[in-house]
Structure 1
């Protein structure tokens, strides 16, 4: 059996809270799982701001308990200013965050229960800082596992994509207001109320903080490990999923790092693969233990004898906003970039993709600003309703190029790329590119996509507006994908000038004219060499005891008002951020509930775009209850964005703090 066993709870000691002292007097709060009766063992760190006491408890117990049963001391540490830790949190990925992590790792390595070897892992924020801390080279850090993360904070994070402003910038900023508005737990900190009010008073207005940096400046370069790949000197296991937003970091890490490294990409959304949705979930915790055993215990587990890239190749499935299980298989590539993958080029002809050189012709497109409503969520989390739907409606608002029905299947693994020569009638314009698998019945399944603010066509350090009427050559790499297009299906390349509600509309309603004679689509086609790999079924440690207090509800709606000529997209979640329901952690008696409604509206004029988010977060137990309510909104004109927010914090029914923000931010080249 691969990995460590799933032991009974009696085999693991859990320390609910321990304090890690830092040199400046700050204390960080940690939760620890250790194998009972063991001497010094290697340690594994997960270091995030999402509250080890209650925020991630349901995920932490079965994961870190598994590692402890396999012979590791696992620590889940609240970052400075979050959860039960001291201090204040002023932004993402600050130098202070990294400096604290270096002290935490050194402290762990020096404890009598640790043998001096430390690993670091995390998903999302924790995956980001695992890479960032590895680049600081703490001596005790022997290996990392980074899941659903990125190496490039401007080009590939939740704020901007292709130089376009993601609407998730406001969504995530609003969530951070609620998350960071939560107090320490009184059962851990008698001074919880004082610390809570201190945090509320120092709360930054997160979405405006990020919106102020609209190009790739030093703010984004900090923490982007792609600035210096050679800074990372320890082994890296990089993990992603086709349903996640951060997949493209995985092939880049594989190509540019020089340390021992391996990659794994499944069909999953933004979740750990042992809980993988869409399925199949796999024995990811066992894979991690094999990685830790190799690099922290010095055992040859064979991980470096396995393919450099293990990836899931998806088969055709009828497009649907909900997919709980993906059809396909895992394959292995011995190296990455793979010598078994070669570009297959299709030329653009008017309305067609052709095998061979491009053909002359010029076609124009100006899509309604609401084009893209079938695109699903930017970052999937594996819940119903979030996936791209049938693309036919968006295809009908786009400039499309189709192949003839394929005589043979095509297996794609990697980043498709498009080369275009185009001209715009306005200086500001967006280009959205979708690659679709079109079935004989006409249904259109999105395989991959990209968006580009055309002012960023030559890079994001110094954006340059287009010169109206002047031809510009553009090369766009689409999101990495793994997909098998069946014989008899068509490939479709769809180009549009909007991608709502994924990204904020360009200032101008531009018309783009594409020169077909200069256009190419290059697909990374995998030779059918077999190479299938397999994984065991998922294993976990003991789950945290929980009780569902109220069933959740989720809704996603798109409405087109034919009289007002506006489109509205509404996402609602009750009980949990993704509609999972209100619940209680029984062993600590803490109850949690989170409701959120997001409304995004745009009309024919791209300057009509508006978005509003309302949320309510409640937590507590008998004798102690708090509630956070927030409202945030954003709109824009030709020169600036207006972004507003209000936060209200309640202890019981008493309002204890109100914060309000109103900021106008110059628009730049968006």
Structure 2
């Protein structure tokens, strides 16, 4: 509870350059006995999730206590703001227009910092890649955006079904008053007919059961949303998503930024790429030297069913306030002397690094091996640094889209580290594992896989997982990468597979930091589905958005691992004798505290005196 007097001015009208007005709530503290307001720095949070709701779950006490004004704004087309929601498409311009308005207010001293996770992080990244007077810095948490491949809509080749479909349905349910009456009634009918708990996001079995009877075009609730169809229409068209893309503009960044993410977060790659590219190519020395990176062992949401890591909870509100104090108040903090801070899983502690990728990593290739029977946990697949023999037999399995491999964890919006054992009896899962390790092996950096594969189908998918297998049999997912056959030559110009043709797929497995402990095994798993994390491939070269069970084809899949076609995984291994700078938990959360993934489930109470905009005057 904030004890000092705090005031709130609700639904201030903020004009955009195209004439649309966005609504914002202002929170600020007034010293006892005074009538006016001193000019001060402003912390801005822009959200599609109703600013009044978010304000009760976003602990902004550290900002108020630090003498900042805090502004929550409904993005275009949501809650009290005007216009139409086109996810991420207007955020760069709208953010810049909002800051231009803020720095003109008498209670703002001309300095604005931004903060917030997920969509609220994505709007910051888009803002940061353009010159915006008054925008001094940003604390960018797990930024959504880069929708063509950055996991909000498409995860490289795949539709990120577990993320974008529930998000579309959730937004539709929360914005019913924005739709024409007939459309709103149809959405309500879909919600009732399918017994959907909207506006809560669906996940797991509930999402699978909803999706399976439908093609993507006719998915309940989503089928009534224009941007859902626009996303499906533009599977192979990056130009459509260009307004939401920041990756090509990192060389224009002029200011210091904090990049805050999690190893299992669906937007991890956005954070890593931004940190690396701006550090190397930023437009100013302040930008190049001022990037910072913090990565914990988190998914996008907290879940007690995930593998839990000790000493991992960070108070992101305190971290964000300290970052603002550094750049808006000139108050140094020793943790920001470290360019990179990582949680090393397995070792289960935090480490400071001078850069990312971490210096000293030795890229080491592990090859797949078997006698042709790597199917399931009882198969004969092995993994080692030994190059395969000339005549090593291939592995085979049948993939039936009607019986897909169930998603267990991963890096979707509800992803995280989950024991994979429930899937490992299946014969359509190939498993390759090392012998129990005779010493610790630390893998920190980007992992890549090379898969030599053939299919009887004209299109199909490949999923590769890196797994940490414990001596007691528990097997936790570390990373997942994927490739879609039709895009083997080009994402923008798909071509059908030639049945039986061997294709070499280079697969981005994302990045991690994990110590495979002595006695553990390093395991690679290969399948052709990960549902509902990704959309199902019918094993047919057709419009994937209209595919139904009637279109499914059972595919005969082959994975090669001989000397001419050595399927493998490349691991960035940190040598045991390399020096390591271990540190205490950065900004540790108090017992029962939070990191960003828990904000949706945490509500804090505060009292604020309501005031009108006319009362906002300086002494």
TM value normalised by structure 2: 0.76
Aligned equivalents of 2:464, 2:170: Cα separation in 1: 29
More off after superposition, 128-137 vs 20-29: 20-29
SS in 1 for 2:51: coil
Aligned equivalents of 2:534, 2:17: Cα separation in 1: 43
Aligned equivalents of 2:604, 2:255: Cα separation in 1: 39
Q: CA deviation at 1:217?
A: 2.2
Of 61, 64, 67 in structure 1, the residue corresponding to residue 63 of structure 2 is: 67
- Structure 1 match to 2:265: 244
Instruction: Provide, for residues 596-640 of structure 1, a one-character-per-residue CA deviation record: whole Å limited to 9, x for no partner.
Output: xxxxxxxxxxxxxxxxxxxxxxxxxxxxxxxxxxxxxxxxxxxxx
SS in 2 for 1:116: strand
Instruction: Provide, for residues 144-203 of structure 1, a one-character-per-residue CA deviation record: whole Å limited to 9, x for no partner.
Output: 1211124632112232223122323322221111122257xxxxxxxxxxx996996998
Instruction: Provide, for residues 50-76 of structure 1, a one-character-per-residue CA deviation record: whole Å limited to 9, x for no partner.
Output: 11123x23213x2x2321211211111
- Structure 1 match to 2:474: 443
Q: CA deviation at 1:380?
A: 4.5
Work out whether residues 145 and 152 of structure 2, in 8 Å CA contact, stay in contact via their aligned partners in 1.
Answer: no
Aligned equivalents of 2:3, 2:490: Cα separation in 1: 53
**Is it true that 1:332 corresponds to 2:352 in the alignment?**
yes
> 1:585/1:179 Cα in 2 relative to 1: closer, same or farther (>3 Å)?
farther
Which structure carries more relative contact order (alpha carbon 8 Å, separation 6+)? 2
Of 555, 575, 582 in structure 2, the residue corresponding to residue 532 of structure 1 is: 582
SS in 1 for 2:251: helix
SS in 2 for 1:289: helix
Work out whether residues 166 and 504 of structure 1, in 8 Å CA contact, stay in contact via their aligned partners in 2.
Answer: yes
Of 291, 294, 297 in structure 1, the residue corresponding to residue 329 of structure 2 is: 297
Superposed CA RMSD in Å reads 3.4
Q: CA deviation at 1:584?
A: 12
Structure with greater proportional strand content: 1
Q: CA deviation at 1:123?
A: 1.1
Q: CA deviation at 1:425?
A: 1.9
SS in 2 for 1:138: coil
- Structure 2 match to 1:9: 3
Instruction: Provide, for residues 545-603 of structure 1, a one-character-per-residue CA deviation record: whole Å limited to 9, x for no partner.
Output: xxxxxxxxxxxxxxxxxxxxxxxxxxxxxxx999x79x999979xxxxxxxxxxxxxxx
Name stretches of at least 5 consecutive residues in structure 2 with no aligned partner: 32-36, 188-223, 371-380, 540-553, 609-619
> 1:19/1:412 Cα in 2 relative to 1: closer, same or farther (>3 Å)?
same
**Is it true that 1:520 corresponds to 2:568 in the alignment?**
yes
Work out whether residues 380 and 387 of structure 1, in 8 Å CA contact, stay in contact via their aligned partners in 2.
Answer: no
SS in 2 for 1:267: strand
Q: CA deviation at 1:302?
A: 4.3
Aligned equivalents of 2:508, 2:148: Cα separation in 1: 16
Aligned equivalents of 1:486, 1:140: Cα separation in 2: 48
4+ residue runs over 4 A deviation: 195-203, 276-279, 583-588
**Is it true that 1:491 corresponds to 2:491 in the alignment?**
no
- Structure 1 match to 2:122: 128
Q: CA deviation at 1:431?
A: 0.1
- Structure 2 match to 1:591: none
> 1:152/1:235 Cα in 2 relative to 1: closer, same or farther (>3 Å)?
same
- Structure 2 match to 1:346: 366
Q: CA deviation at 1:377?
A: 6.5
Q: CA deviation at 1:495?
A: 0.8
**Is it true that 1:355 corresponds to 2:385 in the alignment?**
yes
TM value normalised by structure 1: 0.70
Work out whether residues 172 and 207 of structure 1, in 8 Å CA contact, stay in contact via their aligned partners in 2.
Answer: no
Name stretches of at least 5 consecutive residues in structure 1 with no aligned partner: 1-6, 184-194, 316-326, 544-575, 589-670
- Structure 2 match to 1:505: 536
